[in-house]
Structure 1
Amino acid sequence: MSDKSQKHYLFASDFDRTLSFNDSGYVLSELLGIPTEEFERKAAGMARLNLVQQGAELAYLLLHDPEFHSRVRREHLYEVGKRIRLKENIELLNEILDHGIDGYHFDFYVLSAAPVEVIQSALEGIIPVDHIYGTQFRFTASGEIETIDRATAGYGKVAVLDELQTTLQIGPDQIIYVGDGSSDIHVMLHVNVRDGFTIAVSETKDVTQIAKRTVLSANSLAILVPILEKIVGWERPRIREFFESYGFLIQGWDKVRTDWLTLRPAKREWSQAAGAD
């Protein structure tokens, strides 16, 4: 039974380039000997044509592209997971979210369009398998991909998030979502409009313009900073002390507000002004 005095939150995170430095599609391409440029070209083409929901490009290729479909077996997906380079201290992040902040408990779930086998393999021993939601394939007896049972991409992430909210019996304002790119836009908008909290971990304009906070670091523990500030209500000195209690010094902590501008010459207006003179 959970402690009713604790404040209970859902902490949901994307996987590719959020908890990792790699994109699963690139790592799989390298494993198969397919140039990463070829994967990038095919994925970009599908994105332009809106053939799939944002983030599900790899799943579509695995099911429909002859070059990928004919060569990929389930064991390849597990091998990709072992080759993924994870960000630092994900296991410690999970422990702190679970019981490291007095008065708070955060259930850590991973929601990603990447194949679930890749994520489970990469996070083995770190995140429980029942806390990982990725694209689920159905395989033949020989391990060949037969069909997709569920894709956790675009609005698919929203559906999973809503299911978890119901299961955990928490309010929409008790949801935190962390992501890095365009595949996270739908779910971030969904969280924001219901007073949840969103964190971007990249400088991609599509997501930083939507996320309530942006954190850039190679260490996954950095995600805690906006949570400790906004959710828990701590000031900087206490946050520094908290990190030091786990053996980490915050060497650099720069807050920068970024304005994205595109300027073009107003030729007609300038010529009219010159003529008036």
Structure 2
Amino acid sequence: MFRALLSKRTEDNDKSFKIPEWIRPDAGAKNRHWTGGGFGLEYRLMGHWRLVFSFPFARDLGYKFIMQADADTFIMEKIGYNLIDHMREKDVWVTNYDLKIPEEREYNMGLPELARYWMISRGRMEGLYVTADNASTAGHGYIKGPVFSHCRPADINGLHTCSELVCRGETWRGWDGEMFSGHYQIFKLDHWFSWEIQDFLQLVIRTGGHIEHRWNEISTQAMIRHMFTPDKHVHIFSDHKIRHGRHPDSCSACLDWMA
């Protein structure tokens, strides 16, 4: 059954897996214009897989939630409660470990401009008159998240690529690109498959920007959270220890309670 579902899902999403040729030229080609140096095609396709394949595959298997974790993510202690039960009881749609990172503009270049285009053309927003105060209220379209609190100025005019390398300090303008760490996240699938998220996600995928500019899944998910997820439905896990990276004590610290 697992193989049949995998085969069907791969066949159904065949077009989504075909990366436009113009964003994957030979390494020495003069027209290569990728940003986010140091990350090859394989790494970028990993982010594509996380965005395009993993969510519908989990849903087809009957799951209601999906966890995304890295191969070098370690839970360092026993968790005294059921994470999914907690999300259901508290009506949580997105969770993450207690780590937020302001991404460098090289890795989200063009993404906020695409989000602005979606808001104006598809999001049923009030054009340029959307502000941080009215964006999350009923009757103002699909934007229910705190996106404008991450912008300077704090309205749709601030939704553009950051004016500085990293949006920190006092002088920056644009979208701050604040993203979750990405190595320990849980998503509620009913929320992920809402019309507005899927419509925006398809726009992202069709541009190829998540590969070309290395938005990957992490910056794309950050923008989706900022646009479509109210803070009251986001939970940060700070009551159990997580380690990320190939540290020498990562596994040895787990051995006692895993035995």
Normalised to the residue count of structure 1, the TM-score between the two structures is: 0.22
Higher relative contact order by CA 8 Å / sep ≥ 6: 1 or 2?
2
